[in-house]
Homo-oligomer: A and B are copies of this chain.
Amino acid sequence: MRAPIFCALLLAALALPAAEGMFSVDAVTPAVAAEMKAMGCRFDPATLWRPGGKCLAMAVVNLGGGTGSFVSADGLIITNHHVAFGAVQSLSSIEHNYIRDGFLAADRAQEVPAPGYSVRVMTGFEDVSDRFRRALRPGLDPLKRLRLVERISRELAAAGEKEPGNECAVVPFYGGRRHYRVTYLKLRDMRVVYVPARAIGEYGGEVDNWMWPRHTGDFSFLRAYVGRDGRPAGYSPDNVPFRPGHYFPIARTPLREGDFTAIMGYPATTRRWLTAAEAANEAQVAFPARIALLERFIALLERLSAGDEAVRIKNAGVLKGLYNSIKNNRGLLAGLERDAVLAGKAAGEKELAAWIAVDPARRKRFGRLLPAVQRLAAGEREIIPLEAVQARLGRGCRLLEWALTLSKWGREKSRPDLEREAGFSERDMAAWKERLGVNQRNLDLKIDEAVFALYLESLLAADQPGFFAALAREVDSAPGAGRGERIAAYAAALYAGTRLADPAFKQELLQADARAIRACRDPFILLAGTLQPGIDALNRRRGAIAGEWLEWKPLYVEALAAMRPDRLRPPDANRTLRFSYGRVEGYSPRDAVRYAPFTTLSGVLAKERGEAPFELPPAFRSAAREPGVGGLPVNFLTSNDSTGGNSGSPVLNADGELAGVLFDGNYESLASDFRFRPDLTRSIHVDMRFVLFVARQVDRAGAVLRELGLE
């Protein structure tokens, strides 16, 4: 049970499930601390975060899309199997199938680089809202407002990054009502230490994904390395393990139902502060559009992978993500309907309108609010389908992404760093150079061309505003009876004529200036020239709306907070470090069914079917059949609030020890990104007792166990 700050005692007395809470690290008010203690927490909540001092946050790392935590003084990190999946995939080949068989370094010398992986440890978290408040006059042109916010953010970040090894992000909270500068130490030399076999790490696969009861060993171990001076550095055989400011010891007391739990991690996005019209856009336009695109994308990749093991390995990571996405999107849409999110939002705004109307002061401050936010949502509704295509397919096609990015570099790099578009600073350039290599690794031109054709077809079909009219004319000039045929002919010609699959050519273009890019006759670079104005127009439209939201969303939050001063909910997740507290707790998914919060080893065996995703490695099977181990906990549920990005988060017990690793939310929790349901929302974790069982009994990972202080 996790309670909000305000009615903690009442809820504790009633033993009712509580409301959401992804608290930022500076939100440990006395009330929160008291509530945590009442729920059984024995560590001092003040140790969660201490700027510059030893604290729990120093043991938590941001892994890009996921989270991890230090579990040894020598920079050993535990995270999810699915978070390390990309690294394992890059290391794998038909000869060394680490995806299938797992990977275990017998000693440090055998630990292999995780290409493209880095982790960030938070070292600073400052409220910089005043800096924005001073600069942003009301009534500013929306696009100018947006650019100003971007510029201030960049300036603040750049100032923070003067210290070498630092990386800074300036992040809005409460829709821009507040801003924080977050400072990280970024560790770039990451290596793979131990990953169990896929049959364990992904047991249940897509069938069980988001489901409970669950029996997945979704864990892996990485290690962060630094230069001999202790400072962040790129890979070098001379590097040494990073010494974190704190690491989590493995839990010594068995976790039980009802026990206090805390998680810390990097949740990416929640949308709980959406207006009614924004929620309607999501449910009625965005989700249906995304689901339709995903269905087509998945069908395409499955067709191309069928019967070709090499193609299958190349597509594995992408397909895994797509299946995850589509199940997520479908569950979310179903949850929005089940939880009557639209109706609830509409009722809330009706109440807000009435609250504003009865008071002259409120009418003065908020009178224009609701019409404004409705107008903004109507404007967004028109561009959502196009944005869905860009988000879902625009990055699925590698040559297209390179062409657009390289073209854009040509233009942006001649401008001063602070004036460039986001993503094109000098720092980004370095990241790009590195990514070009990784990105190349799994390139398959047949796949890429097919995805490109699907992208073109979807983009032109969704282009109601006509942003891409020039592209449509160009495609329609290709030979063919219908648009489908013309797109295929157009794509075939492009792929036959381009040199963009050649890494040397790409590096060459990355050095080139705007004039050289303009002179380049590579058909993909030419296409980028045709496409970019449409993308720019779409981005300007989005930017103008975003600029207006920067004015109105803070006011919307202010109005709701003023109407219900006793009910201010935490800010939406925004990829910054959050903690949440809760309890080990099951739930009732439907009438007459109750889910217990722990699954067991005997449940793993009961699910086995002899074929993936329910086929166990023989070593696991025989270890799990040993007498007396059937009751060993495998996965568990807690009422902690979490979302995507929390994957790999440490689950701490009442003593601040590591009891598990978060790897999923339950299916019923998907819509909790929009509305938290205390009776249904649960996080799913792998129990450390199962991690240690697999490491010890199945994989004989002696070095890891010794480093954890367990052998």
Contact = CB atoms under 8 A, between A and B. Distances in A.
Contacts of A599: 591-592
Nearest to A338: B606
Copies in the complex: 2
Nearest to A586: B592
A575 B234 CA distance: 80
Contacts of A596: 592-594
A595 B598 contact: no
Contact of A592 (B213, B590, B591, B592): B213
Contact of A591 (B213, B590, B593, B594): B213
Nearest to A634: B591
A215 interface: yes
Interface in A562-614: 586, 590-600, 602-603, 606
Contacts of A603: 590-592
A273 interface: no
A203 interface: no
A21 B355 CA distance: 66
A573 to B, nearest CB: 28
A597 B594 CA distance: 11
Interface in A466-507: none
A590 B590 CA distance: 16
10 contacts: A212-B592, A213-B592, A215-B591, A591-B599, A591-B603, A592-B599, A592-B600, A592-B603, A593-B596, A594-B595
A590 B594 CA distance: 11
A595 B595 contact: no
A610 to B, nearest CB: 13
A608 B364 CA distance: 47
A591 B595 contact: no
A212 B598 CA distance: 22
B593 A592 contact: no
Nearest to A636: B592
Contacts of A594: 593-596
A661 to B, nearest CB: 18
Nearest to A604: B591
A73 B590 CA distance: 40
A contacts with B: majority SS: mixed
Given A213-B592, A592-B595, A594-B595, 17 more contacts: A213-B590, A213-B593, A586-B592, A590-B606, A591-B599, A591-B600, A591-B602, A592-B596, A592-B597, A592-B598, A592-B600, A592-B603, A593-B593, A593-B594, A593-B596, A594-B594, A594-B596
- Would you list the 9 A-B pairs with minimal beta carbon distance, nearest first? A591-B603, A213-B592, A592-B596, A594-B594, A592-B599, A591-B599, A213-B591, A591-B600, A592-B595
A697 to B, nearest CB: 19
A596 B212 CA distance: 17
A24 B593 CA distance: 34
Interface in A206-246: 212-213, 215
Contacts of A606: 590-591
Nearest to A603: B591
A336 to B, nearest CB: 16
Interface string A10-28: 0000000000000000000
Which of A212, A594, A595, A597 neighbours the largest number of chain B CB atoms within 10 Å of its CB? Answer: A594
Contacts of A602: 591
Nearest to A597: B592
A598 B606 CA distance: 26
Contacts of A600: 591-592
A249 B592 CA distance: 28
Interface in A90-122: none
A590 B603 CA distance: 7
A568 B212 CA distance: 41
Contacts of A593: 213, 593-596
Contacts of A592: 212-213, 586, 595-600, 603
A394 to B, nearest CB: 36
A211 to B, nearest CB: 11
Interface string A174-206: 000000000000000000000000000000000
Nearest to A598: B592
A71 to B, nearest CB: 27
A603 B593 CA distance: 11
A330 to B, nearest CB: 16
A593 B598 CA distance: 10
Nearest to A637: B592
A602 B598 CA distance: 27
A200 B591 CA distance: 17
A595 B592 CA distance: 6
Nearest to A601: B591
Contacts of A212: 592
A215 to B, nearest CB: 7
A258 to B, nearest CB: 16
A625 to B, nearest CB: 14
